[in-house]
Chain A
Amino acid sequence: MPKQVLLFFKRLLFVLWILPAITQAGEISLAMPGNLKALADYHSGDPDKPAVLVLHGFLQTHNFSTVRLIATELADAGYAVLRPTLTLNIDQRKNSLACDAVQNHTVEHATKEIATWVAWLKQHGHAHIVLIGHSTGSNNLLSYLHSGPDSAVSALIATSVGPMQSGDDHKESDRQQAEARRQLASGDSVLKRYTLGFCRENYVTPPGHFLSYMQWDRERLLDYLRSSPVPTTVVLGESDKWSPEGWRETLEQTDIPLRVIAEANHYFSGTSEFSFQSTILSLVESADDRAG
């Protein structure tokens, strides 16, 4: 009986302590390399739980729906959640970037910004950090992990992760990459139109920047996943049409932990949303357990 009363009070004190942290949420900005400022949404959570950094996909912002879905679920579960927006070399970028906008950014730029945000989390007392990436965001996080991640990072959940490719036509993709390399070699830095991800023939970027993304092909990705320094789990939608053909099967043939959400699309929207959320939560909790 005395133990039960003691446990009650311990929990009550925890709630009273954690409540202000839970309610601490809002947009923050953080200076990035290159005299840029990046924006993010931060939700403080249970300090005993790992902080979760949720990164958006290609040309999106932290307000993208899938990212918000993940963040909300985790925040509700008491986790501190940081949703940064990559600047893509645009100061205080708030909006998703159009394909034909000047894509003056590279994967390396993103890696640096992720490192900055992880450092910021650590500075704010989060000893354990779980990284969750959506789509290309997962690629960026893998890039960060392989660039020497902070020790506070304990896990990576790569949702809808896939190789970067220039369309479905490999030959065309190869041609564009070859052309880009040639231009880069010739010192040509003029903007060109490429096909990258969902940007079909309208991704306007210098050749070098194009190639920085195109490095993330299937082999490199599998390699980075296998060799991830932190426990990494891949979550795919069963019906992800953006996923390259045979990618899931490829993953399934590896020992990379893979969760496939039934009937889910690339964005896990619709009826698969709850299943996706519970999967993410369980994965984070597992990571917490491992960290704990």
Chain B
Amino acid sequence: MKRRLQNLLPLPISAYLGGFFSVSLLLFIIIGGWMLLQMNKVTNAAEASRSHSARTEVRAAIDKVLTSSQEMLAELSQWSETRQQLRDNTYYEYWRNTRVLQTSRIPHYVTDVDIYDQQGAILLTRSGSSMPDKLPDLLHFIDIQQGTTYLYRFMPIVRPGDGQRNIGYLGLRMNFDQALQELNHFIYTDSNSLGIVSPEGARFPPDEIQHQLSYLPRQSGETRKLESVMRSTLYSFAALAVVLIIISYYLTSSLLHTPLRRLAQYIEELRRNRGDISKTELSGGTLCVKEFDMLRSSIIDYQHELEEMHNHLDQKNREMWRLAHHDALTGVANRRAYDEDWERLQELVRGQRIQVSVMLIDCDHFKAINDTYGHDVGDQVIRVIADSLRQNLREGDHLYRLGGDEFAVHLINTDTEQCRTLAQRYQERLSHFDFKALGIKEPVRFSIGIATAEGSQPKQVAQLHKRADIAMYQAKRPGNNKIAVYNDGMAGNAESLLSNRFITTVYRAIEQGDNIELHYQPVLAADDAQSGFYETLVRLRDERGTITPHNIFPVVESEGLAVEFDYAVFRRITKAFEQGEIPQGTCISLNVDGSTLMHHNFIQQVSRLAPFIQSGCRCIVLEITENALISEIEEGSRKLRHLREAGFAIALDDFGSGYSSLRYLANMPVDIIKLDIGMVRDLEGDPSQRIITEYIAHMVRGAGYQLVAEGIENDSLLYRVLALGFTHVQGFLFDHSLPAIDPQNRLTVAEYPRNSGKSLNRALGS
């Protein structure tokens, strides 16, 4: 019921008003009816009271007539002149007619009087007399004659002082109706209604007279007046109520309902006109109720404010949309715009034989530039890239900054070759920019990945970004020309990047560490003057086999797990020490990511390895990339110094691959420099590059650092580095990564067995 009622709501005000007035009318009818009922009750009660009073009054009146007749007859019978007639009735007629009937001795409604002797015979017989000649048996009776009620009464005449001797009788006839009227003043009885119901000639005792009389109660003037006043009041009240209801309805309708309806129509029209006040008019002219007019004005004012607010919000929305869809630094569309546009583009080309391409561009080693030269320089580089790409966009191409130094371009109706040409143009224009003007001394290079698909192949279209990313990753690889177009051969590598399998395994390694396998690659001392050591290389193991670093670290990097992963490796090496996996007296090195170095808990975590450092021998080497160290050189140096003091040896890994400045090197608390494999290879390449490498080797060695040459894969290169004074060598010429350390092997070039069968093309593990 309540729910049905709620379903009816809201109701229009006319329904409430109608209900209100209906209820009012109903209440009035009920009250009026009740009042009428009460009035009738009062009237009936008054009627009953009047009837009772009339009955009592009539009875009293009858008694009065009877008593009066009794007294009258008694007085007349005791009258001496009456007795005189019994002695001598010579002048009886005179006595009866003159002395009795024609005097005021008896009232005029006594129509006849006669005296009877002791034997009951009338003293004087008269023809046509209404009195009986003989004394009747019933001395007291009512007789109906010619529609008139007569009372006959007879009484003995007693001689006083003579033993109350009955000397005769006296009788009279009285007009009962007249006597009743004249002897009584009726208050409660309508005297005009008094009448006898008995038939003509009826005769009965006087005590039955009341039953033979008909009469009506007198309508009390006060009661009638009161009833009249009450009825008049009720009718006036009814009329007044009806008038009030009509007036109220009119006033409510004109002052409340109509203005509200007009306001509601106005608001509805305003809504239809989308809040345009200029197009909306209030029907029916001005509202006559001030409050409603104020409400209308308020609505208009409010609508004005709303409109202004709406415009402001529109503007803000546009701005927000622009901010949300554009990169604040470069002004080009951002990642959100990219995603939305990409969704629309997919829909647009779905099922169409339209070539769709995604081109991803990023700056190689941008992080190093950012870290080395500061964010301001990094931002300028980003702006340069954006400006350059924007200026070289074709009509209809869209440029997006996806984040950091990564840019993307959507290309339509552009085949692979055209994409490649465009990419080359981008690269060429970017290379023309003088980055040295920004203070960047190193060359700035850009990698571009391209993926193309036809709209009729929606699945492939959906994979375009991923594929372009893979291609860009490929483009970054050494030896590539920095522009790569995706092909299916890249899919394997790509799969490894984002494989859930790898992610799961990495997380398991961090959480449990039981799937971390340590492999060891020997770093051999050039001569006996130095100690060789093993570089620990990480492999992960799952049900499907072993996962190599080039599948592990992209996950670690993409998931931001570098610190946690390094700490897991620390724990695993500690375990290897504890379990003798790393034989006592064996020196090892382990790689530390730059973010791990900067982590606040780094010292504590790495110190768990300190107990395995043998006194007098820095046999645990921490390999830090130069970029990691340079980015936070002061903090990093402070921590490394602390670790050196604790007995650790510090190696600067991949030296020469990044942008580390040689001037920082002197301040770096490092013991070993591991020259980048590219520079080592340069020893066999371009003479100028070889010379630079040689000079660097000399300089490092001259500064007293131990110098490690990575990527030694053949004897020729071995000899060259040994000749240049490298203290350690490392490469497939000697061994791949080993699952276990053979304590029998001596870690010197001269004594470690060679592995000449290895391919030079295999990538290094770290």
Of the candidates B84, B161, B162, the one whose C-beta lies within 8 Å of that of A102 is: B84
B80 engages A95 (CB within 8 Å): yes
Q: Which of A95, A101, A189 has the most chain B CB atoms closer than 10 A to its own CB?
A: A101
Known: A35-B87, A37-B161. A102 touches B80 (CB 8 A): no
- Kindly list chain A residues whose C-beta atoms are within 8 Å of the C-beta of B94: 102, 191, 204
- Binary contact track A29-57/B, C-beta < 8 Å → 1, others 0: 10000011100000000000000000000
Interface status of B16 (Cβ within 8 A of chain A): no
Distance from B556 Cβ to chain A, minimum over Cβ atoms (Å): 160
Interface status of B90 (Cβ within 8 A of chain A): yes
Q: Can you list 6 residue pairs at the A/B interface with Cβ under 8 Å? A: A29-B161, A36-B87, A91-B84, A92-B83, A92-B159, A102-B99
Give the 8 A-B residue pairs with the shortest CB-CB distance, closest first.
Answer: A102-B91, A90-B84, A90-B80, A93-B80, A191-B91, A191-B94, A91-B83, A101-B81
Interface status of A104 (Cβ within 8 A of chain B): yes
Known: A100-B98, A104-B91, A191-B94. A89 touches B161 (CB 8 A): no
- Kindly list chain B residues whose C-beta atoms are within 8 Å of the C-beta of A91: 80, 83-84, 87, 159
Known interface pairs A92-B159, A102-B99; 12 further A-B residue pairs with C-beta atoms within 8 A, sorted by A's residue number: A29-B161, A35-B87, A89-B87, A90-B81, A90-B84, A91-B159, A92-B83, A92-B160, A92-B161, A98-B99, A101-B81, A204-B91
Distance from A210 Cβ to chain B, minimum over Cβ atoms (Å): 14
Interface status of A94 (Cβ within 8 A of chain B): yes
A102 engages B81 (CB within 8 Å): yes
| C-alpha gap A36/B480 in the complex (Å) | 187
A104 engages B84 (CB within 8 Å): yes
**Residue ranges of A at the interface with B (Cβ–Cβ < 8 Å):** 29, 35-37, 89-95, 98, 100-102, 104, 189, 191, 204
Interface status of B95 (Cβ within 8 A of chain A): yes
- Kindly list chain A residues whose C-beta atoms are within 8 Å of the C-beta of B84: 89-91, 102, 104
- Kindly list chain A residues whose C-beta atoms are within 8 Å of the C-beta of B95: 102
**Residue ranges of B at the interface with A (Cβ–Cβ < 8 Å):** 80-81, 83-84, 87-88, 90-91, 94-95, 98-99, 103, 159-162
Distance from B72 Cβ to chain A, minimum over Cβ atoms (Å): 17
| C-alpha gap A138/B525 in the complex (Å) | 206
Distance from A35 Cβ to chain B, minimum over Cβ atoms (Å): 7
| C-alpha gap A204/B103 in the complex (Å) | 14
| C-alpha gap A101/B103 in the complex (Å) | 11
- Kindly list chain B residues whose C-beta atoms are within 8 Å of the C-beta of A204: 91, 94, 98
- Kindly list chain B residues whose C-beta atoms are within 8 Å of the C-beta of A37: 161-162
Please, which residue of chain B has its CB at the minimum distance from the CB of A29?
B161
Known: A101-B99, A102-B81. A89 touches B88 (CB 8 A): yes
| C-alpha gap A37/B165 in the complex (Å) | 14
Distance from A34 Cβ to chain B, minimum over Cβ atoms (Å): 8
Distance from A233 Cβ to chain B, minimum over Cβ atoms (Å): 34
| C-alpha gap A189/B90 in the complex (Å) | 9
Distance from A41 Cβ to chain B, minimum over Cβ atoms (Å): 15
- Kindly list chain A residues whose C-beta atoms are within 8 Å of the C-beta of B161: 29, 37, 92
- Kindly list chain A residues whose C-beta atoms are within 8 Å of the C-beta of B162: 37
| C-alpha gap A34/B108 in the complex (Å) | 35
| C-alpha gap A102/B92 in the complex (Å) | 9
- Kindly list chain B residues whose C-beta atoms are within 8 Å of the C-beta of A101: 81, 99
- Kindly list chain A residues whose C-beta atoms are within 8 Å of the C-beta of B83: 90-92
Please, which residue of chain B has its CB at the minimum distance from the CB of A34?
B87
- Kindly list chain B residues whose C-beta atoms are within 8 Å of the C-beta of A92: 80, 83, 159-161
Q: Which of A29, A91, A92, A95 has the most chain B CB atoms closer than 10 A to its own CB?
A: A91
- Kindly list chain B residues whose C-beta atoms are within 8 Å of the C-beta of A90: 80-81, 83-84
B99 engages A100 (CB within 8 Å): yes
Distance from A167 Cβ to chain B, minimum over Cβ atoms (Å): 21
Distance from B727 Cβ to chain A, minimum over Cβ atoms (Å): 187
| C-alpha gap A100/B95 in the complex (Å) | 9
- Kindly list chain B residues whose C-beta atoms are within 8 Å of the C-beta of A102: 81, 84, 91, 94-95, 99
| C-alpha gap A95/B161 in the complex (Å) | 16
- Kindly list chain B residues whose C-beta atoms are within 8 Å of the C-beta of A189: 90
- Kindly list chain B residues whose C-beta atoms are within 8 Å of the C-beta of A94: 80
| C-alpha gap A93/B160 in the complex (Å) | 10
| C-alpha gap A93/B83 in the complex (Å) | 10
Known: A37-B161, A191-B94, A204-B94. A104 touches B88 (CB 8 A): yes
- Kindly list chain B residues whose C-beta atoms are within 8 Å of the C-beta of A93: 80
| C-alpha gap A89/B87 in the complex (Å) | 9
- Kindly list chain A residues whose C-beta atoms are within 8 Å of the C-beta of B90: 104, 189
| C-alpha gap A237/B17 in the complex (Å) | 105
Q: Which of A89, A102, A189 has the most chain B CB atoms closer than 10 A to its own CB?
A: A102
Distance from A191 Cβ to chain B, minimum over Cβ atoms (Å): 5
Please, which residue of chain A has its CB at the minimum distance from the CB of B102?
A100
Distance from A234 Cβ to chain B, minimum over Cβ atoms (Å): 32
| C-alpha gap A36/B88 in the complex (Å) | 12
Distance from B181 Cβ to chain A, minimum over Cβ atoms (Å): 30
- Kindly list chain A residues whose C-beta atoms are within 8 Å of the C-beta of B80: 90-95
| C-alpha gap A272/B751 in the complex (Å) | 201
- Kindly list chain A residues whose C-beta atoms are within 8 Å of the C-beta of B159: 91-92
| C-alpha gap A191/B91 in the complex (Å) | 7
Distance from A239 Cβ to chain B, minimum over Cβ atoms (Å): 33
| C-alpha gap A91/B78 in the complex (Å) | 11
| C-alpha gap A15/B81 in the complex (Å) | 44
- Kindly list chain A residues whose C-beta atoms are within 8 Å of the C-beta of B99: 98, 100-102
- Kindly list chain B residues whose C-beta atoms are within 8 Å of the C-beta of A191: 91, 94
| C-alpha gap A35/B87 in the complex (Å) | 9
Please, which residue of chain A has its CB at the minimum distance from the CB of B95?
A102
| C-alpha gap A114/B81 in the complex (Å) | 22
Please, which residue of chain B has its CB at the minimum distance from the CB of A39?
B161
| C-alpha gap A104/B159 in the complex (Å) | 19
Please, which residue of chain A has its CB at the minimum distance from the CB of B99?
A101
Please, which residue of chain B has its CB at the minimum distance from the CB of A94?
B80
| C-alpha gap A95/B75 in the complex (Å) | 13
| C-alpha gap A83/B98 in the complex (Å) | 31
Please, which residue of chain A has its CB at the minimum distance from the CB of B91?
A102
| C-alpha gap A189/B161 in the complex (Å) | 32
Distance from A184 Cβ to chain B, minimum over Cβ atoms (Å): 15
| C-alpha gap A213/B108 in the complex (Å) | 35
| C-alpha gap A90/B78 in the complex (Å) | 12
Q: Which of B88, B91, B98, B162 has the most chain A CB atoms closer than 10 A to its own CB?
A: B91
Distance from A60 Cβ to chain B, minimum over Cβ atoms (Å): 14
| C-alpha gap A94/B82 in the complex (Å) | 13
Q: Which of B80, B81, B95, B162 has the most chain A CB atoms closer than 10 A to its own CB?
A: B80
| C-alpha gap A204/B91 in the complex (Å) | 10
| C-alpha gap A48/B231 in the complex (Å) | 91
| C-alpha gap A194/B84 in the complex (Å) | 21
Distance from A40 Cβ to chain B, minimum over Cβ atoms (Å): 13
Q: Which of A36, A90, A100, A189 has the most chain B CB atoms closer than 10 A to its own CB?
A: A90
Please, which residue of chain B has its CB at the minimum distance from the CB of A27?
B161
| C-alpha gap A191/B96 in the complex (Å) | 14
Distance from A116 Cβ to chain B, minimum over Cβ atoms (Å): 17
- Kindly list chain A residues whose C-beta atoms are within 8 Å of the C-beta of B98: 100, 204
| C-alpha gap A93/B161 in the complex (Å) | 12
Q: Which of B84, B103, B159, B161 has the most chain A CB atoms closer than 10 A to its own CB?
A: B84
| C-alpha gap A97/B83 in the complex (Å) | 14
| C-alpha gap A218/B90 in the complex (Å) | 32
Please, which residue of chain B has its CB at the minimum distance from the CB of A93?
B80
| C-alpha gap A94/B84 in the complex (Å) | 12
Please, which residue of chain A has its CB at the minimum distance from the CB of B161?
A29
| C-alpha gap A90/B103 in the complex (Å) | 20
